[in-house]
Amino acid sequence: MTGDVHIVGAGLSGLSAAVDLAGSGRRVFLHEAAKFAGGRCRSYYDSVIDMTIDNGNHLLLSGNRSALEFLRRIGGLGAMHEAKRPEFPFADLATGERWTLRPNEGRLPWWILDSRRRVPGTRAADYFAPIGVLRATSSATVGKAMTCNGPLYERLWRPLLLAALNTEPADADAGLAAQIFRETLGAGGHACRPLVATGGLAAAFIDPALRYLRQRGVEIAFSRSLRQIQFSDGAASELDFGDTRISLGLDDHVILAVPPIVARALIPGLIVPEEFHAIVNAHFRIAPPPDQPPILGIVNATTEWIFAFPDRLSVTISCADRLMEEPRDRLAETIWREVATLTGLGPELPRWQIVRERRATFAATPKQNAKRPEARTSFRNLLLAGDWTRTGLPATIEGSIRSGLSAAAAIAGAQERLGRPRNAA
Ligand SMILES: Cc1cc2nc3c(=O)[nH]c(=O)nc-3n(C[C@H](O)[C@H](O)[C@H](O)COP(=O)(O)OP(=O)(O)OC[C@H]3O[C@@H](n4cnc5c(N)ncnc54)[C@H](O)[C@@H]3O)c2cc1C
């Protein structure tokens, strides 16, 4: 007889843990405070723009192996559009220049010797700047480890690192940036093909995961918010959801896959990151021009990335704390003016929606990174998951999926230490 697993939080980390444990012989329960799953990676019907949109555009790369494996397992991969080649078109709003970054497939980066594949105005030697980041000592910032100015920085390293870290790169943790380099450009172009959920995040990540779990007998409860955890003898002994209380047996486990501030309130003495950065997304209900690339990187503008969907154009702005208090209509007008210039569409503002996620991710600084806890806690049956735990990656889908796998593996490990095979019923 193996114990039950209670997973609290149905964001990607909780879903990832649940998918890994479903069918393992344990009963798995998923408890989510909201009326829907997905957390910060969700789709919803928006009556203002009268269409289903995502809270924010999410980009995966072909090197995000755990995220792709998750999608494959739940049957969501078909809902992702994967670019045939590792290509990143860019535009400079100030100068009107356009270029496409084209890394070659293999690990040896010969593409930097070919000026047609490089960023205009840069030399091959400039591309070695990230070596300083790869060699940086722990707690160094990117600003200490590499030069954070010049054409290549402004036109390549800053946009890529800002998108991945959601933190001004010069202030960001060099170790996290190094891991991004290793798993993307450093691994070769084959790890850099962009993937986008063109039919929405829910269709790729969330709905198939919920279907997968239900088919395997996982009980999923929405509108169930964990209020308190009782502890005794070094273990969690009861989960208090207000109207429902669940007593935990000796073999039962809990995976807390909630945001860091919620976890800190539930676990005595837990240290977590406590600084965050915002992401702003602006959605415009208008068909993109036929030649619009699926993703366009922009420099020298408020707009940072334009995502083209069949029925809308959608803009992402990272580390957007400065835009939180900006009046919404003014922000929509500013962004649309830029998008209209870049796409050749008319100046008339289409129907729009702005989604501001104030706490989109933890600030990826050395100080906040040092506060990220491991999956195991000081309580023997209580584990943590979430993009803010110690994954070695910034707050990304990939990190969040890996955190769920680590928590699930820790439970499997505990079982094996007790001499029970993982899949025994
Ligand atoms: C706008 C935006 C754009 C992004 N873009 C990208 C991108 O392009 N690429 C990328 O890789 N990543 C991106 N990310 C990051 C990615 O979305 C997150 O890393 C990931 O979704 C985090 O999942 P999680 O499970 O760790 O946390 P969450 O999604 O925060 O999940 C936590 C869950 O816990 C629930 N919860 C909270 N309190 C309780 C409680 N007391 N009881 C029960 N449940 C509770 C919440 O409702 C939520 O569902 C983006 C994030 C945002 C916000």
Q: Tens of pLDDT along 45-84?
A: 999 999 999 999 999 999 999 999 999 999 999 999 999 9
Between CA 218 and CA 421, with CA 381 as vertex, the angle to 5 degrees is 65
- Span 402-407, average pLDDT: 98
- Measure 31 CA to ligand 1 centroid, in angstroms: 15
Torsion on CA atoms 349, 350, 351, 352, rounded to nearest 10: -60
Task: Assess whether the C-beta atom of 404 lies below 6 angstroms from ligand 1.
Answer: no
Ligand 1, residue 241: give the atom nearest the CA. 42
When pLDDT is cut at 50, 70 and 90, the band that residue 415 belongs to is low
Q: How far apart are CA 13 and CA 398, in angstroms?
A: 9
Q: Provide DSSP, 53-80.
A: EESS--EEETT-HHHHHHHHHHT-GGGS
When pLDDT is cut at 50, 70 and 90, the band that residue 117 belongs to is confident
- Measure 98 CA to ligand 1 centroid, in angstroms: 34
Cβ neighbourhood burial of 405 (10 Å; 0-12, 13-18, 19+): buried
pLDDT value for 422: 42
Task: Assess whether the C-beta atom of 14 lies below 6 angstroms from ligand 1.
Answer: yes
Task: Assess whether the C-beta atom of 260 lies below 6 angstroms from ligand 1.
Answer: no
Identify any residues that bridge with 188 across adjacent strands, giving them in sequence order.
none
DSSP 8-class letter at 138? T
- Span 346-353, average pLDDT: 97
pLDDT greater than 50 at residue 420: no
Residues of the chain above pLDDT 90, percent? 88
* Cβ proximity of 113 and 98 under 8 Å: no
- Measure 414 CA to ligand 1 centroid, in angstroms: 27
DSSP, collapsed to helix, strand or coil, labels residue 101 as strand
Residue 29: name the closest of 9, 10, 7 by CA: 7
Ligand 1, residue 163: give the atom nearest the CA. 8
- Span 6-24, average pLDDT: 97
- Long-range contacts of the stretch 247-251 (C-beta < 8 A, 24+): 248/4, 248/6, 248/381, 249/3, 249/4, 250/3, 251/1, 251/2, 251/3, 251/4
- Measure 38 CA to ligand 1 centroid, in angstroms: 7
Task: Name the closest-CA residue to atom 4, ligand 1.
Answer: 58
When pLDDT is cut at 50, 70 and 90, the band that residue 113 belongs to is confident
Task: Assess whether the C-beta atom of 11 lies below 6 angstroms from ligand 1.
Answer: yes
Out of 44, 58, 180, 227, give the residue to mutate to test ligand 1, the one with the largest number of ligand atoms within 8 Å of its CB: 58
- Measure 386 CA to ligand 1 centroid, in angstroms: 8
Identify any residues that bridge with 44 across adjacent strands, giving them in sequence order.
53
pLDDT value for 119: 87
When pLDDT is cut at 50, 70 and 90, the band that residue 3 belongs to is very high
pLDDT greater than 50 at residue 256: yes
Out of 41, 205, 324, give the residue to mutate to test ligand 1, the one with the largest number of ligand atoms within 8 Å of its CB: 41
When pLDDT is cut at 50, 70 and 90, the band that residue 339 belongs to is very high
* Cβ proximity of 176 and 286 under 8 Å: no
Q: Which two tokens stand for residue 53?
A: 């949109």
- Measure 398 CA to ligand 1 centroid, in angstroms: 12
Task: Assess whether the C-beta atom of 397 lies below 6 angstroms from ligand 1.
Answer: yes
Task: Assess whether the C-beta atom of 206 lies below 6 angstroms from ligand 1.
Answer: no
pLDDT value for 419: 47
When pLDDT is cut at 50, 70 and 90, the band that residue 416 belongs to is low
Between β-strands 253-256 and 382-384, what pairing exists: parallel, antiparallel or unpaired? parallel
- Measure 125 CA to ligand 1 centroid, in angstroms: 38
* Cβ proximity of 59 and 295 under 8 Å: yes
H-helix or E-strand containing 358?
strand 351-362
Task: Assess whether the C-beta atom of 160 lies below 6 angstroms from ligand 1.
Answer: no
Q: How far apart are CA 58 and CA 70, in angstroms?
A: 16
- Measure 65 CA to ligand 1 centroid, in angstroms: 19
Task: Assess whether the C-beta atom of 159 lies below 6 angstroms from ligand 1.
Answer: no
Using one digit for the tens of pLDDT, what is the confidence trace for 217-250?
Answer: 999 999 999 999 999 999 999 999 999 999 999 9
- Measure 311 CA to ligand 1 centroid, in angstroms: 25
